[in-house]
Structure 1
Amino acid sequence: LYDKTGEQHYDIISAFIKSLRGSDPNAAVYWLARMIEGGEDPKFIARRMVILASEDIGNANPNALLLATTTFQAVEMIGYPECRIILSQCATYLASSAKSNASYMAINEAQALVRKTGDLPVPLSIRNAPTKLMKNMDYGKGYQYAHSHEGNFADHEFMPEKIAGTKLYEPGNNAAENRLREYLKHNWKDKYGY
């Protein structure tokens, strides 16, 4: 049925993850059953669903990460045989959910930018100023506390000067992230091109 120490282990987890990503709950639950029947560690399966919930669903459905994390915790508490039901619930939910890899792409872009631009200075206005000396050096000067402004938003520069205005997060094209895009567009106007 399943060789959990050989190539088939990787082939079947790959088929499972790709079925979840491809929005096929039927295929996902089939590959899940293959792993369960083969005695795969349920925590391994649950961990992979936690990763997928963030990487492939993300802000299209933030509840997916909550369910996947709760699934991992429940699997840890319950174990076989009953944890198979919990794994199935999570797998069918994740497969049936809207998908977005926008957060995954954003962190990839941000890390590439950091590698390219190096150690850019934190703008003085958003530096921590716990001492009088730091305050005298203008740390925190001009910072606008968002909650002191209408709509809990202040148009403030949070990026280093050299990369100000750089857009790293592009919301996906789905209902939830379209709402995020509209919120960002309303607040930032033309700054990031949302």
Structure 2
Amino acid sequence: MDATGAPEAGDADAADAAGDEPVEIDLVTAEAAVDKAAVRYDRDGDAHYDVISAFIKSMRGSDVDAALHWLARMLTAGEDPRFIARRLVIFASEDVGMADPTALPTAVAAAQTIQLIGLPEGQLTLAHAVVHLATAPKSNAVTTAIGAALADVAAGKAGAVPPALRDAHYPGAKALGHGKGYRYPHDDPAGVVAQQYPPDELVGRDYYHPTRRGAERPIAERLDRIRAAVRGQ
């Protein structure tokens, strides 16, 4: 300022320079400005993996309220809803399986709905699927069954297809004995016949061990009878 109190040119330059400097805003100030608590979630860091892990484990543990909390955390933080939907589809087979066969169609429908309508309305569909999966009876019997079957194949237990099961529709197949002796299950009143289906190396090998939970209970109750009939026991 000069002697008369008028601002000098240098004062204006200094004010402009000060206005160009970055201003730091802390988390508390930012939250107050938007009137919403900030969600600590890094889509490319540990928080991303920690939250999705907590989400999956909450559903597996049948804590529907915790699962909905983690879902809300991800949605609020801007997580891709397609990523969440994919995890629901995996969970339906991995952790619910045959204990509730309707879980997978629900998860698939949620994934398809997200593709159709996106957010924000799609959050209702995701919540619908989460509630279904979290409250459903749980079984990983399907997961362990395919794991055991894959392990046997990897170990070289992959013998020839039994002759009765081989394709007999092409010319010359019957002359090779393909299809000979095949028994058509629908022709039997019980719908189950004694017949060898696995290769010789795996006769009598059990992969699927159903639980006694949910819809798997009646499967478990009849599976021993089915296996005995198929194996001629």
Asked whether the two chains share a fold, i.e. TM above 0.5, the reply is yes
Scaled to the shorter chain, the TM-score interval is over 0.9
TM-score (norm 2): 0.79
- Report if the CA contact (8 A) 1:29-1:91 is conserved: yes
> How far apart are residue 7 of structure 1 and its match?
1.2
Tell me which structure has the larger Cα radius of gyration: 2
| RMSD (Å) for aligned C-alpha atoms | 1.4
Q: Does 1:47 align with 2:86?
A: yes
> How far apart are residue 190 of structure 1 and its match?
8.0
Residue of 134, 152, 174 corresponding to 1:95: 134
Question: Which residue number corresponds to residue 99 of structure 2?
Answer: 60
Question: Which residue number corresponds to residue 125 of structure 1?
Answer: 164
Question: Which residue number corresponds to residue 204 of structure 2?
Answer: 165
Q: What secondary structure sits across from 1:159 in the alignment?
A: coil
- Report if the CA contact (8 A) 1:126-1:143 is conserved: yes
Which 4+ runs in 1 deviate beyond 3 A?
none
Distance 2:90 2:133 in 1: 11
User: Which amino acid letter does the alignment assign opposite residue 117 of structure 1?
Assistant: G
Q: Which range moves more in the overlay, 41-50 or 183-192? A: 183-192
Q: Deviations over 1:123-153 (max 9, x none)?
A: 1110111223111111111111111111211
TM-score (norm 1): 0.94
The 5 Å alignment of 1:1-194 reads 1=39, 2-189=41-228
User: Which amino acid letter does the alignment assign opposite residue 188 of structure 1?
Assistant: R
> How far apart are residue 191 of structure 1 and its match?
7.5
Distance 2:205 2:136 in 1: 30
Structure 1 gaps of 5+ residues are none
> How far apart are residue 177 of structure 1 and its match?
1.4
Structure with the higher fraction of residues in helix conformation: 1
> How far apart are residue 104 of structure 1 and its match?
0.4
User: Which amino acid letter does the alignment assign opposite residue 99 of structure 2?
Assistant: A
Which structure ranks higher in relative contact order (CA pairs < 8 Å, sequence separation ≥ 6)? 1
Distance 1:188 1:51 in 2: 29
Structure 2 gaps of 5+ residues are 1-38
User: Which amino acid letter does the alignment assign opposite residue 121 of structure 2?
Assistant: E
Q: Which range moves more in the overlay, 13-22 or 174-183? A: 174-183
